[in-house]
Amino acid sequence: MAEVKISAEIRTEFGKGAARRTRRANRVPAVIYGHGADTVHVTLPGHDLMMALKTANALLGLDIEGRKELVIPKAVQRNAIKGFIEHVDLLAVKRGEKVTVEVAVHTEGELAPGANLLENVLNTLTVEAEATHIPESVTVSVAGLGAGDSIVAKDVPLPSGTTLVTDEDAVVIQILAAQAEEPAPEGEGGAEGAEA
């Protein structure tokens, strides 16, 4: 995953009023923590951050007034109505360090013929990966699967260097038989027609 470079500024004002002023200036309040260091309060450019967070588990290279810091987003707080980013918690990481993150599960392929339904029991898997090589997602093939088949976590192919943290026997995808609707009795249809 490519590192996204963003410039950050140290935040010295706190509270709701200060946060509102920061957002009006199209900046987002953020907190950086990790490695036992003191928490650092910063602001980030709103548009740059929004574009970076379109990628799951984005790796951000922050320039905090001349000091470089590598971080990944841990919690993103969005406005419930407008969807803009209100606050973000960032975890400081180092190159070569292993981190635990959630990655999205995508499916590919056609199910076996017949009216079967695919159920994503888990939409994400928890994995451990090197901080600079976090996968955006994992893809599993459902080609040829039929009703009653399932895929468990240990069967999902992971990129090299990525380790599964989720319980290996957890069901990720299962295929269900579609249930046909019972046709309405003929008498009911005739009665409705007569009433109309």
**What would the mean pLDDT of 111-138 be, rounded to a whole number?**
85
Q: How far apart are CA 79 and CA 83, in angstroms?
A: 5
pLDDT band for position 97 (cuts 50, 70, 90): confident
pLDDT band for position 152 (cuts 50, 70, 90): very high
**What would the mean pLDDT of 25-44 be, rounded to a whole number?**
82
Q: Are 72 and 90 in contact (CB under 8 A)?
A: yes
Q: Are 55 and 136 in contact (CB under 8 A)?
A: yes
pLDDT at 49: 80
Question: pLDDT higher for 14 or 145?
Answer: 145
Q: What percent of the chain has pLDDT over 90?
A: 13
pTM over 0.85: no
pLDDT band for position 18 (cuts 50, 70, 90): confident
pLDDT at 181: 58
The three-point CA angle 1-45-103 to 5° equals 30
Q: Is the pLDDT of residue 119 over 50?
A: yes
Q: How far apart are CA 74 and CA 98, in angstroms?
A: 15
